Structure 1
Amino acid sequence: MAGLAAAGLAASVQPDRWWKPGEGRVMQESTDYPNAAGSLRVLLVDGPMDTRGHPFFEPLGENGRACVTCHQPSDAMSLSLDSIRRQWELRGHHDPLFAAFDGSNCPDLPQERRESHSLLLDHGLIRIARPWPPRDHDGSPIETDFEIEVVRDPTGCNLSDRWGLAAPEPMVSVYRRPRPVANFKYILAMGFAVDPKRSQPLPIDPETGQMVSGNLMADRRVLSLEAQIRDALQTHLEFKGRLSPEDIARITDFEQRVYAAQQTSRVGGDLDTGGATGGPATLRDSPAGRLGSQGVPVWSEFNAWADAGKDASLTPGQRAWRESVARGAQNFRERMFLISDTTGINSPMGFGNPVLDRCAFCHNMSQMGMDVAPGQVDLGTTTRPFADPQPHLPLFRITCTGEPHPHYGRVIETHDPGFALTTGRCADVGKITLQSLRGLAARAPYFSNGSAKTLREVIEYYDRRYNIGYSEQEIQDLVHLMEAL
């Protein structure tokens, strides 16, 4: 144990980026993973930890996966397209990552063929099968106020007699990015007792009777870490048994001790020097759930770099990059534009349509860039007319049978109904839980459906969606900021 403790005192670079299920590696207290923008640092509070026998790292189900398979430390505890392709080149469909149930476009496709796994290999997407009609947390069906039909189904899964809407147990297959399993102190934080995006109280965890943030999953289909673990075991790991309360507690304990963020820039150097306080140590040591406008302004950890040009110890490239990050942070907080036709913002919150505000209007949590006010928002990334063309994804037609959608009307076309697959409400079509903005450089592609391949494409989508009119310099500054997170 003394040797393990000594090994954890300084950041180490793992010789093998990919964590295989059950390999029994030691997870250090601090580990750096190089990426195209610099390096990511993963911190484990009270580390190091021998992962042998730990239920997060062991293959528990029938397909050979462990939780770590889709939540790789080198990918900010998510899964990058580079890692996915590397595993296919090494092992093809035999790697547990490409398990037929959700690591392929549909389980009944020929699994040895690359095209059967194209959504994972080309877009980083895992299949998520949701019951139709939706089910409440006790398993009872939810009465819906919309009908759903398949317009286009390139994967074949939604029209399948076994896996689709016509199956004996009807399902809707949507395809989403794995969310990061890190920085949960912030993800679980509750800044308000209500979900203003629905004008309702925060959801209650049926197991504990306690209010929860509802920010764990893209569609809020589970409310607690414990419920998320059971959901993932049954679906992604195809685990047929029942994990003991002790093992579930070991997983939740581990997940709440992991912090991940970019630590260095290949151009600008270390992110916690020159007066800046970037990197995961600030996440680890700061209180969670603070509203930037009332406490520490979001991304103010880079404010000191506004004067980087005066630092003679830096190279010209370092000075220019650091000043760009500081400008990007200021732009994020202050650049005003009109936000329109966005459920969860323009309605039902009462801000008006459009409303004049900034990126930090929603991405307002200090150190994290999530929303202090929990709830789901429709940015249009999955829904016409705003979504970029996604011919590889299924397309659904939603017909509201009650009140029409406040912005799309009675008939909606979408690649992913999002939160509506949990609530059964037409007004929730397209709404997705806001994600953490940390460790972005390590886990491309972006948005829930992987529709932005690069950070620049993220900025350009917002620019088009809200007619912001960013200059080339503003785009570069915002990209550099995102790379520093």
Structure 2
Amino acid sequence: MFRKAIVPLAGLAAALSASVGALGDAPERWWSPGDGRSFPAQLDYTNAQGTLRLLLTGGALDTKGHPFFEPIGRNGRACVTCHQPADSMSLSAATARARWEETQGKDPLFAPFDGSNCPTLPQAERSSHSLLLDRGLIRVQRPWPAKVWNGRKVVPDFKLETVRDPNGCNSGPSYGPAAGNVSVYRRPRPIANMKYLLAVGFPYDPKQGYALPRDPETGVVLSGNLMADGRLGTLKQQMTEASDAHLQMLDKLSDAQIGRIEGFIRSIYAAQQTSTKGGALDTLGAKGGPAKLRDSEPGALGSIGEPVWSEFAAWDKISPEDAKTLTPAQLEFRRSVARGARVFRDKTFLITDSSGINSRIGFGNPVRNSCVFCHNMTQMGNDVAPGQVDLGTTTLPFADPMPDLPLFRVTCLKTPHPHYGRVFYTMDPGFALTTGRCADSGKITLQSMRGLSARAPYFSNGLAKDLRGVVDYYERRYNIGYTEQEKQDLVNLMSVL
């Protein structure tokens, strides 16, 4: 029987060079607005864990004049500024630091409005951009109090007060709750694999217990997976807000520009393709890489289809004959990935005091389940069930102190929060800034798990600097009891997604 050969580690670099060489010289990592480069149908970028691959359906794209790649706003940015291909269409802190060093802080990425900790700070100083450079965070200014959500008037049922403001953007005459706005700091969300993020897994929001929002123009039910705080449900809404806030456009995007940007976003797929330790990720029965994402479809309504942990299950039983094609280190790494998939799927623990899970209708507090309970979307690892979840990453006592972020006191005016009580402290109220509901404080939309190796740090506020930090947070948050081997196996699994 024919067996596909595995490239040993010694020849991996040459194989990757050949792959890139088919597209020309090794691609420049940073895409500046107005570069005018062609975006090829296949694009590979190396990272610390191996190689990220991007696939563009429809063939190569000439980016000259394309509104995603052109600096169409006042500050010299383009959409690509914060959604870099080498970072799996997000933006890593390492990339931001490299750009700071290369341009001495003059790149449009560091525009005062949101590329610095606050526009009032001295912009030439690195410390004024520390949240972007150290945590990969962009400032997001939300109006407060919230007035409308899902087409209905909102009267917030909690009071929001600033108790710590290290950056000056949550106090004073122009910034903060007293000035009618709130500044929070979040990671740019990746915009690849949009087919899955837009898929609607349930006919209603089972985490909140109410109907899903609908597209105001088409009436189509929305997935709610686009924004961290669920404030916008369509790509058009997201693009319109981003062009106004992040690009600082004076004019609105035209329908033609929106159509071209959306066409590109819907066409790009990204995932880790090779591993420095394990070799190619689509061999010996594994289904790694973005081709599977491109060629598959989200599961049917309410179905998880093929979950992200299943892609490497075949490596759990590598035959002796196939094992001969691998180095001992490759073989052990692949077996570790397969073990990580089992841990992800099978190791249960008590999930406690997590709004959107324990406060969900039909679930108790605690509820016993595994990682796949929430990370189950076909091929992606976000939640097939729409709605936001509070893992405690932004709210005390579960969050790390993170003194470089603002801290707010939340006082529930009616019913106390189901897990934090009437008064508690948070660095980002999350979904509550959208709904005005105290019970929604701390809830954040789950992200995709693809391309993780290209876009550290992790969680919405950059709490985990690396993949081990992700595992360690869950361990201490839920007292899971992972062994050191299980932790490493989970890290290895996440490194190849």
> Are residue 121 (structure 1) and residue 121 (structure 2) matched?
no
1:18-417 superposed matches below 5 A: 18-136=30-148, 142-167=154-179, 170-289=180-299, 295-308=305-318, 310=320, 311-417=323-429
Q: TM-score, normalised to structure 2's length?
A: 0.93
How far residue 306 of structure 1 moved from its aligned partner, in angstroms, is 0.8
Q: Which runs of 5+ in 1 are unaligned?
A: 1-6
How far residue 163 of structure 1 moved from its aligned partner, in angstroms, is 2.3
How far residue 66 of structure 1 moved from its aligned partner, in angstroms, is 0.1
1:416-455 superposed matches below 5 A: 416-455=428-467
What is the one-letter code of the residue matched to 1:233?
Answer: S
CA RMSD of aligned residues (A): 1.8
What is the one-letter code of the residue matched to 1:301?
Answer: E
- Is the contact between residue 129 and residue 173 of structure 1 (CA under 8 Å) also seen in structure 2? yes
2:3 aligned partner: none
Q: 1:221 to 1:415 in 2, by over 3 A?
A: same
Deviations 1:364-388 (A, max 9, x none): 1121011111110000000011001
Q: 1:332 to 1:391 in 2, by over 3 A?
A: same
Give the Cα–Cα distance (whole angstroms) in 2 for the partners of residues 112 and 191 of structure 1. Answer: 46
1:4 aligned partner: none
How far residue 298 of structure 1 moved from its aligned partner, in angstroms, is 3.5
Residue 377 of structure 1 aligns to a residue whose secondary structure is coil
What is the one-letter code of the residue matched to 2:199?
Answer: A
Q: 1:138 to 1:462 in 2, by over 3 A?
A: closer
What is the one-letter code of the residue matched to 2:405?
Answer: L
- Is the contact between residue 202 and residue 301 of structure 2 (CA under 8 Å) also seen in structure 1? no
Give the Cα–Cα distance (whole angstroms) in 2 for the partners of residues 346 and 333 of structure 1. Answer: 20
How far residue 46 of structure 1 moved from its aligned partner, in angstroms, is 0.8
State the aligned residue count.
477
What is the one-letter code of the residue matched to 2:324?
Answer: A
What is the one-letter code of the residue matched to 2:413?
Answer: T
Residue 162 of structure 2 aligns to a residue whose secondary structure is strand
- Is the contact between residue 72 and residue 79 of structure 1 (CA under 8 Å) also seen in structure 2? yes
Residue 89 of structure 1 aligns to a residue whose secondary structure is helix
Deviations 1:186-244 (A, max 9, x none): 00001110100001111112222221001100001111000000010000000110111
- Tell me the percent identity: 63
Give the Cα–Cα distance (whole angstroms) in 2 for the partners of residues 15 and 8 of structure 1. Answer: 8
2:10 aligned partner: none
How far residue 12 of structure 1 moved from its aligned partner, in angstroms, is 6.3
1:452-463 superposed matches below 5 A: 452-463=464-475
1:484 aligned partner: 496
- Is the contact between residue 8 and residue 28 of structure 1 (CA under 8 Å) also seen in structure 2? no
Identify the range of structure 1 (49-58 vs 196-205) with the bigger mean alpha-carbon deviation.
196-205
Identify the range of structure 1 (26-35 vs 199-208) with the bigger mean alpha-carbon deviation.
199-208
Residue 178 of structure 2 aligns to a residue whose secondary structure is coil
Q: TM-score, normalised to structure 1's length?
A: 0.95
- Is the contact between residue 268 and residue 319 of structure 1 (CA under 8 Å) also seen in structure 2? yes
Q: 1:112 to 1:295 in 2, by over 3 A?
A: closer
- Is the contact between residue 290 and residue 366 of structure 1 (CA under 8 Å) also seen in structure 2? no
What is the one-letter code of the residue matched to 1:216?
Answer: L
- Is the contact between residue 42 and residue 260 of structure 1 (CA under 8 Å) also seen in structure 2? yes
Give the Cα–Cα distance (whole angstroms) in 1 for the partners of residues 25 and 450 of structure 2. Answer: 20
- Is the contact between residue 8 and residue 48 of structure 1 (CA under 8 Å) also seen in structure 2? no
Q: Which runs of 5+ in 2 are unaligned?
A: 1-18
Give the Cα–Cα distance (whole angstroms) in 2 for the partners of residues 411 and 368 of structure 1. Answer: 36
Give the Cα–Cα distance (whole angstroms) in 2 for the partners of residues 428 and 333 of structure 1. Answer: 28
Residue 376 of structure 1 aligns to a residue whose secondary structure is coil
Give the Cα–Cα distance (whole angstroms) in 2 for the partners of residues 14 and 28 of structure 1. Answer: 12
Give the Cα–Cα distance (whole angstroms) in 1 for the partners of residues 173 and 112 of structure 2. Answer: 17
- Is the contact between residue 298 and residue 333 of structure 1 (CA under 8 Å) also seen in structure 2? no
Residue 263 of structure 1 aligns to a residue whose secondary structure is strand
- Is the contact between residue 409 and residue 423 of structure 2 (CA under 8 Å) also seen in structure 1? yes
